[in-house]
Amino acid sequence: MLTERHLQIFIALAEEQHFGDAARVVGITQPPLSQGLRRLEALVGAKLFERGAGRVELTPAGAALLPYARRALTSIEELHQAAVARDPEGPEIRLGLAPEVPPSAGAAVAAAAGAVIPGSRVTVVTASTSSLINQVTTGRLTLAAVLHPVVLDGLEAGPVSLLPTWALAPAGFVDEEVVGLRQLKGLPVAIRPRTEAPAARDLFLDTLALHRPTGGTVVVTDERAGLAMAAAGQAIVVTADPALTAPGVTRHRLADDPLPLRLRLVWSRTRTPFLRPNDVMAQLTEALVAS
């Protein structure tokens, strides 16, 4: 079946004449773009591009079909716009946020989502990265800010954003404002359960072990529990929330920022046709970083 994605790939390749550039325009990587082109050529029964030295050029058949593809894609976009315009309440954007997303970052993404889609209604839920991926895949959420790395299960994803982190330690545990992880020995680092984001947790633990061979970890339900343990002198918390604090806890910048919070936005192209990678995701990602 000919899809909107096929049309986007066809037009992007015709305009960019380069697989890598076309993939960035469409918002995917090169392998699915090449696969999409092969499917499109099978559907229309003609070779659309000549390939060579990283560049592509339209074949006579491709040049003949390109105007029809442009008109078809324009019609689909007009259909989406008309459907949104007929909804008296506007489209609902169901945004999911991983618990590690700082409140300021989550608020910035929610505000940007509402601003870039006029008349939209934004609702927000918080859940683990694993749960958010499932909810986006099944259509219960429009998009989500999740921890990276994560298995995407066919979802689209924006670029990875790195948010700086701080170490929250019991008062008097270390004196320096900027510390290395090796200086934070003697207490476990509080972490959330691995099942919430297995790949991201493994990367965090591997990096932590590399820079801090001793000290171990302790599993906590959330950052509030970790903060309470830090205040009690029993743990260290690594957080990207610049406002997280408590009496009896001091904040320290981590030297060279070895444990940044890695976030990315994910969404389903097929379930959320009104979201466009170029005109929406770039602004949402910018809001995430700017926060």
**β-pair type (236-239, 92-97):** unpaired
As a whole number, the mean pLDDT across the chain is 86
The predicted pLDDT at position 277 comes to 47
Q: Of 29-38, 134-143, 235-244, which has the strongest mean pLDDT?
A: 235-244
261 vs 162: CA distance, rounded Å: 6
Tell me the pTM: 0.68
The predicted pLDDT at position 132 comes to 93
The more confidently predicted of residues 29 and 222 is: 222
275 pLDDT tier (thresholds 50, 70, 90) = low
pLDDT at 84 over 60: no
The more confidently predicted of residues 286 and 162 is: 162
pLDDT at 100 over 90: yes
Q: Take residue 273 and report the two structure tokens written for it.
A: 């046709």
pLDDT at 27 over 80: no
DSSP string, 219-274: E-SSHHHHHHHHHTTS-EEEE--TT---TTEEEEEETT-SSPEEEEEEE-TTT-TT
7 vs 239: CA distance, rounded Å: 43
Lowest mean pLDDT across 150-159, 193-202, 204-213: 150-159
77 vs 83: CA distance, rounded Å: 10
66 vs 35: CA distance, rounded Å: 19
Integer-rounded Cα Rg, in Å, for the chain is 23
The more confidently predicted of residues 42 and 4 is: 42
Burial of 74 per CB tally in 10 Å (0-12, 13-18, 19+)? exposed
Which residue, chain included where needed, has tokens 């509030």?
224
Residues, the chain, total?
291
pLDDT tens sequence across 135-170 = 888 878 888 999 999 988 778 888 899 999 999 999
3-state secondary structure of 112: helix
Q: Of 32-46, 131-145, 246-260, which has the strongest mean pLDDT?
A: 246-260
69 vs 291: CA distance, rounded Å: 39
The DSSP secondary-structure symbol of 280 reads I
pLDDT at 276 over 60: no
Average pLDDT (24-48) is 85
Q: Is the preceding peptide bond at 273 cis, omega within 30 degrees of 0?
A: no
The predicted pLDDT at position 85 comes to 55
Burial of 45 per CB tally in 10 Å (0-12, 13-18, 19+)? exposed
20 vs 53: CA distance, rounded Å: 12
The predicted pLDDT at position 176 comes to 92
274 pLDDT tier (thresholds 50, 70, 90) = low
Average pLDDT (75-90) is 64
Lowest mean pLDDT across 81-90, 172-181, 203-212: 81-90
Which residue, chain included where needed, has tokens 């945004």?
95
267 vs 289: CA distance, rounded Å: 18
pLDDT at 280 over 60: no
